Every structure is written in C-alpha cells, then in structure tokens.
Amino acid sequence: SLCTSIHFNSTSDSGLRFHYVAAGERGKPLMLLLHGFPEFWYSWRHQLREFKSEYRVVALDLRGYGETDAPPHKENYKLDCLIADIKDILESLGYNKCVLIGHDWGGMIAWLVAICYPEMVTKLIVVNFPHPSVFTEYILRHPSQLIKSGYYFFFQMPWFPEFMFTLDDFKVLKSLFTSQATGIGRKGCRLTAEDIEAYLYVFSQPGALTGPMNHYRTIFSCLPLQHHEVIMPTLLLWGERDAFMEVEMAEITRIYVKNHFRLTILSEASHWLQQDQPDIVNKLIWTFLKEETKRKRE
C-alpha cells in the first residue's frame, strides 16, 4: 500500500513519541483521523486509501495506543491532554488547520478539539459519537444508555478490565467486532482473518490495554463541559445498529452546531461504521467535503 508509517516526538512538553500512518502528498490539505476504542490507526485503512488523492491523510495512534507512547499514570489521559496532543500533532506536521474526523472515543476528542480550537478545524466529521454535552445529559436521563455505557464504569477499576480482555485468547476483543450483538452485521464489510490478527497483534503486546482503558479512567473529572458550541460545518454519521450508543443522541446533537449540520443515519450499520460500510461512508464524506457550506444556519 502507499501508506507510510511514521514516528515523531511531540513538539510540546509532553515529550511523547507518536505514531501515525500517512497517505497522500505532503502539502495537500490535511485530513486527520482519530480512532476509537479498542482500535488503532488501522480502523481507517479504507479512508487512507480513498482520500489520499486530494488530501494528506494522517491516521494517528492516540496516546496510549498501538505504537504511540503510553504514559503510565491515568492523570496523563485527561481530556485536556488528549486535546493538546491534537494541537501539537498539527503543528508537528506543519499545518495550522485540518479536516478532522473521529470515531467513537476519537469522536469525543474531535468534538472537543472543534470546540476548544475552532480555528484549527475547517470541517468536522464524527462517526457514532454525539456531542459530548448530549452524551453526558442523555446518560443521566436514560438508564438504557447508562447500561450501554456500563463499560465506562467497569473500566474505572484498576488492572481487572485489562485482564478480562486477555482471557481465552482475547475473546472479548474479538467478539466486539464479530459477535451478533456488537459486531459488524450481515450486510457489512466483515473483518477478515488478517484484520482480526492485526488487532490481536497490537493489543496482545505487554501493557497494551492499559493506555486505552486509562482514557476512560479520567472521564468523570473532565465532563460536563464549560463550552459547547461548534462553529464549523459538521457531518455526523451514525450506524443505527450501534450496540453502545442510542441513535436519539445523534439528532439532539444538532442543537450544538451553529453552522451547516448534516446527519446521516445508516440503518443496517454497526458501531464500526467506517469499516462496516466503507463505500457509503467514503461517498458521504466526499459529498460533505465538496459542499459549499459558507451559508450559516438561520
């Protein structure tokens, strides 16, 4: 493939070494991709291939994931650290703005970057994660979503969740992507044996699950937010068969976007939307990127 795997040291005080995979020529507009849990840059393989014709496409391993450094303390995973990482990465790549795309937890980070550093994001695309304020408010009012987000609470425990994931040759990890309840459905682009191997390889490294879980271990100290508004054109894509996120949250997100907002809900798709329906997702993203969205919503 025409992707390059790159390690670089963050220019900021964090001193962390980040890993990303890039496609497309340097100097083209930047498209930055933020994966979710429990994933790494690989979940964007279809998008790296698709958008490299017009963009410098960079799929990051978030702090704590894959080949990016994983600081040991959970304090190092507070949301403000994760947001600052994105700012540093942009600067290290030599850009001051990008098209920002995030899925799941990477979607949470993408929303927050768009809220905190609006000048850095020309267009925002989020896959299966609502605006963070919607998420926190909705959880408090809907026990059904609270139950679906139960793993957020489970992950607060030290070491045990990591241990659970490793049992029976990483059965939990495999079943997230393949089971009837949570995996990519019949009509989706199923993960191949090689795809599953890639995930197992990354997450079976010593300590590889602790960084990802630490992202969740600080969440309750960071939410709810002080600022809410998103001012750039925003596309929210949602697989309706998401086992973890109720689709009602997608529609409520509209309230917080003070610009062109497009929501597309795909009825047959799972939580792993950009891998499940790559062709449709890529088409929807192209349409959104090519739209003239100067007009503000009245």
The CA distance from 93 to 75, in Å, is 26
Is residue 186 packed enough to be buried (19+ CB in 10 Å), middle (13-18) or exposed (0-12)?
Answer: exposed
What is the model's pLDDT at position 296? 45
Q: Which of the residues 216, 242, 260, 276 is marked catalytic?
A: 216
Rg of the chain in Å (alpha carbons): 18
Q: What angle do CA 53, 91, 66 make, to 5 degrees?
A: 75
**Whether 216 is catalytic:** yes
Short-list 125, 104, 99, 115, CA closest to 35: 104
Query: Which residues neighbour 35 within 8 Å (Cβ) at sequence distance 6 or greater?
Result: 41, 42, 43, 44, 59, 60, 61, 62, 65, 103, 104, 106
**Whether 242 is catalytic:** no
Tell me the Ramachandran region of residue 169: left when phi exceeds 0, alpha when psi lies from -120 to 50, beta otherwise. Answer: left
Amino acid at 153: F
pLDDT in tens, the chain (298 residues): 567 888 888 766 678 999 999 999 999 999 999 999 999 999 999 999 999 999 999 999 999 999 999 999 999 999 999 999 999 999 999 999 999 999 999 999 999 999 999 999 999 999 999 999 999 899 989 999 999 999 988 999 999 999 999 999 999 999 999 999 999 998 999 999 999 999 999 999 999 999 999 999 988 776 667 778 999 999 999 999 999 999 999 999 999 999 999 999 999 999 999 999 999 999 999 999 998 755 444 3
The CA distance from 140 to 20, in Å, is 36
What is the model's pLDDT at position 272? 98
What is the model's pLDDT at position 230? 97
What is the model's pLDDT at position 2? 61
Q: Which of the residues 103, 131, 260, 271 is marked catalytic?
A: 271
What is the model's pLDDT at position 298? 36
**Whether 131 is catalytic:** no
Short-list 52, 9, 11, CA closest to 30: 52
3-state DSSP assignment of residue 64: coil
Amino acid at 292: E
Handedness of CA 163, 145, 47, 58 (dihedral sign): negative
Backbone phi, psi, residue 6, to 5°: -130, 135
Query: Is the CB of residue 32 less than 8 Å from the CB of residue 51?
Result: no
The CA distance from 122 to 133, in Å, is 21
Give the pairing of strands 56-61 and 234-239.
unpaired
Is residue 155 packed enough to be buried (19+ CB in 10 Å), middle (13-18) or exposed (0-12)?
Answer: buried
Backbone phi, psi, residue 72, to 5°: -75, -25
Amino acid at 117: Y
Q: Which of the residues 88, 104, 242, 276 is marked catalytic?
A: 104
What is the model's pLDDT at position 213? 96
